[in-house]
Amino acid sequence: MARPSISVVTPSYNQGRFIGRTIESVLSQGVDGLEYVVMDGGSTDETVSILERYAAAGKLRYVSERDKGQPDAVNKGIAATSGEVIAWLNSDDVYFSGAFEAVLEVFEKNPEVDVVYGDGDHIDVDDAVIEPYPAEPFDLERLKSRCILCQPAAFFRRRIVERLGVLDLRWQYTLDYEFWLRLAKGGAVFAYLPRKLAGSRFYPQTKTSGAKLKVHAEINDMQVATFGRAPDRWLANYAHALVREKWRLREGGPLFTPAVALASLGASLRWNRGVSPALCRAAASWLSRGLLFPDASL
């Protein structure tokens, strides 16, 4: 079977300090027939001048215009490309050397596979590794309670998008998480590649790190929309963020644990219109012994 072609889509907005490194990490992959498109949301920093330079050299194509947010930009990029395999890399993330070759080999040898994903690292503004991203072998039930796919380290066939749809514009924080869940629910075949493929930039200005409470609320909204209920783990994580960020209680203080227990029950009533026996038992345990679910990574 012939090696599939690959198209890379980068959504971009005012990431001029990073986008050069992002672009170079794509171009340095060295695979034949690479198609690269950057969909910029009308950046006002140096981004467009950087894109113009690469476009003039024939290295990529780009569009710079207002859009409806990150998922809209990715969807436009998918529509503007034609590769059998689609890679989506945000404008502050990077691929590691040899990522494309490794992924395309898996696709080539396993025609039934729709999504290939590997390991990744959280990296800082200087590309130094902060910590490994907690990727795991695929399991849908596990995915419901924790996002075990590192978005820049995930690649998918165009056929699965044509069958199950592109990104949902409703989700601005959980666009990738909802996408993986929807694909899995629709029967997509996932393959885990235990190899470091990408670096996911993590710093205070990133969209998710600066809005924990909004992120967790959207996760619960998305889970209800996708499966009809929010998992207990995500309800507890929302409660943890609520108590810490809105109620301003100090973690480790005498009121923190009981507040999280009560907030978890309230979150369950809000999203699930009831409380599971498991969450009732957990809340009682937290009240008596101060146990909390660890915070989940996105």
Each residue's pLDDT tens digit, 34-54: 999 999 999 999 999 999 999
Q: Which domain holds residue 257?
A: 212-289
CA distance 181 to 10: 21
Give the residue from 201, 226, 259 where a domain finishes. 201
- Do 282 and 183 fall into the same domain? no
Report pTM.
Answer: 0.92
- Say if 112 falls within a structural domain: yes
Dmax over CA atoms of the chain, in Å, equals 65
Q: Into how many domains does the chain fold?
A: 2
- Do 138 and 16 fall into the same domain? yes
- Do 231 and 153 fall into the same domain? no
- Do 218 and 162 fall into the same domain? no
- Do 96 and 230 fall into the same domain? no
Using alpha carbons, select from 238, 225, 242, 257 the residue that is nearest to residue 296: 238
CA distance 110 to 113: 6
Residue type at position 257: T
- Say if 207 falls within a structural domain: no
Give residue-wise pLDDT tens across range 160-209. Answer: 999 999 999 999 999 999 999 999 999 999 999 999 999 999 887 665 55
- Do 188 and 44 fall into the same domain? yes
- Do 93 and 228 fall into the same domain? no
- The residues that bridge with 146 in the sheet, in sequence order, are none
As a whole number, mean pLDDT of residues 123-137 equals 95
Least confident stretch, 1-15, 64-78, 205-219: 205-219
Q: What is the DSSP string of 44-85?
A: -STHHHHHHHHHHTTS-EEEE---SSHHHHHHHHHHT---SE
- Do 50 and 118 fall into the same domain? yes
